[in-house]
Structure 1
């Protein structure tokens, strides 16, 4: 009993110290980026991880190249783990929204599942991230209902397969405007809400260079954030650093890193009231690293 009482006293003191110092035991906000050129993990792994640590990145969406030797992934993920950075296997193509290409998604899932079975804990992928975007297909304009139905079926298939490993987090990318597209068999449910519900986390491509006011990031994602709050899911808000030919307001390419960092700090402050908001994602490493420092 004396030992137990002493333990409680120590715990109380530690708790008081953490409270007084403002220390939080909550998980650190996510800061993610995409790596599309898989060969970079062998040609410049140290540069990637050094930049990531410098910028506070703790999650990498790494494009999968199944022709790469597993050892390349093991080495890179091990180094990332040592730096406190998780790696999710990234794959996708507009065609992956169609039933005819479902086998390509399942092949990716199966590869990751098999890889993780033989990898050490610090070498494993922490999740799988899909960037499919079938709305870029010509069929989206001619038969949207069919494409949405096939996309849904593919999502059902790959989430079911990935869930055979409960440790894998399943995520995807969606554009902010997908909340205006409704399910063919349920005109009251937006496709965005359905996708948020099917994944552990969804990254909203909320590509704007302002965080407040009309046509800003916060203005574009109000419904998605509310749905994720309701469903108990996680949302990341993504910004662009690549030069855009659709208008200067879509990317931070013109403004540079300093302005972007200021905006992202403000975005985090504004969105922190939402339990579903877990952080930000910056597209992509290849363009972000070249962004001017102004």
Structure 2
């Protein structure tokens, strides 16, 4: 790690990941090059790139910009940068939507099968967030939503293992699932566990939206991921804490928006240092490319 704690880590161990949402970062060649150079400059070695659909809701989803996405993956691979297909939406946890969500996964797998082995996707990454659904507030409905979420990940795991075993399966979760107590438990696969445990059992790793400015201490990144990391170490999996850089008007205290680049890197590096010797620590994620670029370079484009 860089000896200056206020600068990007020189040689970060594990994953240094970045969410990439906007389609122009895929569709435009110049923006692709800028994204790759940004990763090289700041040490990011993985991109979670949102999959955009051409036509959206039909029975046979098709990827938008497949040629451009293939080119981005090729450019990234040349520089040792992994690319995961990013998908998600709260409604995807619901059983009635599983078929369509799995059809999108099938389209991702079919696209990946057309790519050369040295420039393919490395994983599929889901950011589903079912707790924003109104039904989540009812405990009985919540348990059905959690069951549907676990069932979906199990189906996705089966699809990937059968058709694209080189791909990892990852999921983003909030840090507070473990704080729900019995209200966060659901019976699945013959076991009653907290929903975060079911997700960790199925996925290769989880990203935790541990959005705080403090690396350690009370109400910090480290405190909010400890339960999930301890469980990851029991089952031989990874946890990746995440930092936020997007403007949040309701909760400005949890984001680095408006803060200095030095403060962001100081917390980022302190989290890495804190967990450096933990086998359950897989690296760091940052949300997201657009706002981090603005934070580090003052660029609002």
TM-score category (smaller protein): 0.7 to 0.9
1:85 alignment partner in structure 2: 81
Tell me the secondary structure at the aligned position of residue 154 of structure 2: helix
User: Cα offset for 1:293?
Assistant: 5.8
Structure 1: any 5+ residue segments left out of the alignment? 1-25
* Deviation beyond 6 Å, 4+ runs, structure 1: none
Tell me the secondary structure at the aligned position of residue 212 of structure 1: coil
| RMSD of Structure 2 on Structure 1 (CA) | 1.9
Partners of 1:173 and 1:241 in 2: how far apart?
16
Does structure 1 residue 112 correspond to structure 2 residue 111? no
1:287 alignment partner in structure 2: 291
Stretch moving more, 95-104 or 78-87: 95-104
User: Cα offset for 1:129?
Assistant: 0.3
User: Cα offset for 1:247?
Assistant: 2.6
Partners of 1:293 and 1:38 in 2: how far apart?
21
Q: Deviations over 1:214-271 (max 9, x none)?
A: 1011111111110001110011111100112233321111323211111111110101
Q: TM-score, normalised by structure 2?
A: 0.85
Partners of 1:45 and 1:27 in 2: how far apart?
23
Does structure 1 residue 184 correspond to structure 2 residue 183? no
Tell me the secondary structure at the aligned position of residue 282 of structure 2: strand
1:229 alignment partner in structure 2: 233
Q: Deviations over 1:125-172 (max 9, x none)?
A: 110000101110001012211111111211111111112221001101
Tell me the secondary structure at the aligned position of residue 150 of structure 1: helix
User: Cα offset for 1:276?
Assistant: 1.1
Cα pair 1:105 1:158 within 8 Å, conserved: no
Q: Which has the greater radius of gyration?
A: 1
Of 159, 162, 170, the residue aligned with 2:160 is: 162
Structure 2: any 5+ residue segments left out of the alignment? 1-10, 55-63
User: Cα offset for 1:111?
Assistant: 1.1
Partners of 1:61 and 1:218 in 2: how far apart?
23
Aligned residues: 269
Partners of 2:161 and 2:101 in 1: how far apart?
14
Q: Relative to 1, partners in 2 of residues 1:270 and 1:28: Cα closer, same or farther, differing over 3 Å?
A: closer
Q: TM-score, normalised by structure 1?
A: 0.87
